[in-house]
Amino acid sequence: MAIFCFLVDQRKQVQGRKPAAGLCSRCGGGAVVADMKTSTRFCGVPFYRKAWKAIVCPLCGAVLKSLVTLLSSTLAHEEGSSSSSPLKNAVFAMVKTALHTINLELHSGSHPRLGVVHHICFHPLSQTSSIDQVSAVATSLAMDIGSILRVPKYLYGAAQEEQCTLDSIRRKLGYFKTNREGHEWAGGLELEVVPMKPDAGPLEVSKAKRVVAVGACGWVSNYNVPVMSTDLKPVRRMARKVSERGGVLASVQTMALVHGAGVIEVACNLLNPSHVGGDDVQGLIEGLGREEDPIPEAQQQKLLLSNNRFKN
């Protein structure tokens, strides 16, 4: 079996309108709920994220009818049929609904985003499935989203011929650059035309939908460490030093994000969690925190440490 997730993160009320996405207890990962002030994952199966409110939404209920087969199917049973895979069809239905329901121009938040559907990642989870199988499904899905839904689509990981990484695509598209004062992102990428040819879909970018990335790779874990500080610069330095790009921990990607009043989160992707885990990240950040000393004495130089693990 493979799993997929796509992110609609930290939506806030914009121009007096309520957000178009929120959490739903039925799908376990989120759906359209009009009265929610924030939202996280649109949906992920079988990975579930705890819901905040016991709300069953009509949108999610309609889509879930096509997801039932996911829980009893493996890609081993679908070899050679990626174009008609129940997994692919279910994800496509969810993407289509999200793109038709959510206008990204009406949203802002403290987490960057590529588009309404942030990214979709396929993983082989059983001994009977392989990275080649999930890559075939990812590629087929990307082609359909690009050609049918008309959204620029980029492949990454094993689904892309040159094994292009997700973070390299993000950097080329300007994903990490805030477009609003106060370390926030309003809407999506500030692009009318993508700077590099997508693997599928048009060059033109819809402001309401933006861009989508689809990939296939081994299992990725997330380990996020909130630091009690209001000074983003030293925490960014800490995040950089922890990462592979900073020359310290191999297969670790990091980013510092404002995470509420007085808290900045060092968000980490652990690309090889069996070799470099959360304990490695946490220990290093604790040491760097003492060196950087970004926390005022009034707060007793205390780190808020978290072992939150969830798929991003």
* E strand residue ranges, the chain: 4-7, 41-45, 108-109, 119-122, 153-157, 185-186, 212-216, 221-228, 252-258, 263-270
Catalytic residue check, 111: yes
HEC assignment per residue over 38-100: CCCEEEEECCCCCCCCCCCCHHHHHHHCCCHHHHHCCHHHHCCCHHHCHHHHHHHHHHHHHHH
Q: Which residues of 172-193 are buried (b: 16+ CB within 10 A; e: fewer)?
A: ebebeeeeeeeebbbbbbebee
Complete edge-to-edge strand list for the sheet that includes strand 212-216: 119-122, 212-216, 153-157
Annotated catalytic residue: which of 111, 118, 119, 259? Answer: 111
Q: Looking at the annotation, which residues are catalytic?
A: 111
